[in-house]
Structure 1
Amino acid sequence: MKKPLPELGLVCITCGPEVRYRTMTLARYKQFSEAEQRSRLSDLYQSNLNMLLFALDYVHQQGWKLYRVTANLFPLSDLEDGLGKSILLEMQDQLSEVGKKALQLGVRVGVHPDQFVVLSSESEKVIQNSVQHLEHHGWVMDLLGLPRSAWSFMNIHGGKGGRGFKLVETIHTLSDSVKSRLTLENDEKTYSARDIFEACIAAGVPMVFDAHHHVVKEKLPSLSDPSIEQWVKLSRETWPDPSWQVVHLSSGKEGIHDSRHHDLITDFPEALWDVPWIEVEAKAKETAIQGLMAALKAQGR
């Protein structure tokens, strides 16, 4: 009997024109009067909400069940002037349709906040800003009607090296809106799979294992290295429901130890056949997922 294929996920946008989001810089925002700021943000937020609802339909139509929404879904909505936030509050009935549609279509939604989120920084100001950023994401995910659980994960990296204790300490201060969704991912430079695993156990949050980061960090000869299977299994133990486990898959642009992402997935680790959910981090986006899905179906099990 063949095993079911892993569920593959799209990261934010498509290579083609199908899924694209609008944005606005702070500099441009400041050029307008308050009335114009409100008008332009309202139009932008409505446009991006419509695109997110369309993206869920698109993912579903492709036969996928996982979607990472852009971290910049509602630009400038966390400014101190509170204007963007007030607009989102006015839209909350519409925003909640996202969670309803995701549930109806069976599409899982997560987010990967910006890289400047560093909960382990030596600077208390950086930590404070990072926490505020995550709390805003949690607030938006609540408005979108997404569940407060790792099903709707909010994935971040470890940050400053050698300060796993501070990472864990900061996570314990987060609100339920954030901590209930938070996941940690290993990286290719600072936090190894073991480092992140230990932080996840101490903080009580799930681990997103990235096989490519692991190969680069440990300078492994191939994706067949036994440690990949080891960390797939160990990271699964950190999830409240093992069937929710998410891993990341990518290929090096110019070889296995190139941290840059290839357009496509050039190799599929044997250990990932048993993983339930895979975010495909490839520059060719939907083309890469379609190619990988076809290859997996042809190989079968």
Structure 2
Amino acid sequence: MTYHYKILDAIGIADSSYINIHVGGAYGNKEKAIERFHENIKKLPTHIKKQMTLENDDKTYTTAETLSICQKENIPFVFDYHHHMANLCEEPLEELLPAIFETWSHTNISPKVHISSPRSEKEFRAHAEYIDLEFIKPFLHIAKKHNHNFDIMIESKQKDLALFQLIDELSAIRGIKRISGAMLQW
């Protein structure tokens, strides 16, 4: 974390950027691993902890577990929809999303959401070349109900081409308005 912070500081963006990490492994006992995470996070210098975000992962820590850690540590939660679908929790996303967005309330920026699509059913965790609109539509409908601005970060093999394709597909949906570039209003 210190190394990453120093890089951000060296290029002059430490105070306006975030270091996004996953909680980590369970090492045979998830509850003890979470306790160690909380203990270790307290060892971080305040200026570094202030720049970190946590992201749910596709195998170990669910959306609900990551949210609980973020709430306890006052860390913004970068929600990853693809990871959520690969590692579902009992709590419905409709109930979790407002609390996820709330973890960003002490910052001056919009919540961040990662989207990607599975490469295939067999390789569900792997990222596809482009974003499958049908895969992310359920998330978009849930998010719309909460009427909260947020930024989407695309994780796909085709990077900008995937972004342009997704923006074109989304802006063709009735009720979605392209404001400028990649900014949409629904």
Of 242, 254, 279 in structure 1, the residue corresponding to residue 153 of structure 2 is 279
Q: Specify which structure has the higher proportion of helix.
A: 1
1:15-94 → structure 2 map (5 Å cutoff)? none
Question: CA contact under 8 A between 2:131 and 2:166: conserved in structure 1?
Answer: yes
Question: CA contact under 8 A between 2:5 and 2:14: conserved in structure 1?
Answer: no
- What SS does structure 2 have at the residue aligned with 1:260? coil
**Compared CA separation, residues 187 and 263, structure 1 to 2 (3 A):** same
**What residue identity is the alignment partner of 2:77?**
M
RMSD: 2.3
Of 43, 65, 70 in structure 2, the residue corresponding to residue 200 of structure 1 is 70
Aligned residues: 161
C-alpha distance in 2, partners of 1:194/1:208? 12
C-alpha distance in 2, partners of 1:242/1:137? 21
Shift of 1:255: 3.3
C-alpha distance in 2, partners of 1:188/1:285? 20
Higher radius of gyration, 1 or 2: 1
Shift of 1:236: 0.7
Determine whether 1:231 maps to 2:96. yes
- What SS does structure 1 have at the residue aligned with 2:53? strand
Aligned equivalent of 2:37? 167
Aligned equivalent of 2:55? 185
Q: Deviations over 1:110-158 (max 9, x none)?
A: xxxxxxxxxxxxxxxxxxxxxxxx101111111111142xx51110001
Q: Deviations over 1:228-279 (max 9, x none)?
A: 3333221111112485200110111113980111111102332345441111
C-alpha distance in 2, partners of 1:219/1:186? 11
The TM-score, its normalising length taken from structure 2, stands at 0.78
**Compared CA separation, residues 251 and 242, structure 1 to 2 (3 A):** farther
Question: CA contact under 8 A between 1:219 and 1:257: conserved in structure 2?
Answer: no
**Compared CA separation, residues 179 and 254, structure 1 to 2 (3 A):** same
Shift of 1:188: 1.4
**What residue identity is the alignment partner of 1:296?**
L
C-alpha distance in 1, partners of 2:87/2:122? 11
Of 251, 266, 270 in structure 1, the residue corresponding to residue 132 of structure 2 is 266
Of 162, 166, 173 in structure 2, the residue corresponding to residue 288 of structure 1 is 162
Structure with larger RCO (C-alpha < 8 A, sep 6+): 1
C-alpha distance in 2, partners of 1:242/1:189? 31
Structure 1 stretches of 5 or more lacking a match?
1-133, 221-225
**What residue identity is the alignment partner of 2:166?**
L
Shift of 1:219: 8.2
**What residue identity is the alignment partner of 2:13?**
L
- What SS does structure 2 have at the residue aligned with 1:174? coil
Paired-residue identity, %:
29
Question: CA contact under 8 A between 2:116 and 2:131: conserved in structure 1?
Answer: yes
**Compared CA separation, residues 230 and 155, structure 1 to 2 (3 A):** same
Determine whether 1:254 maps to 2:124. no
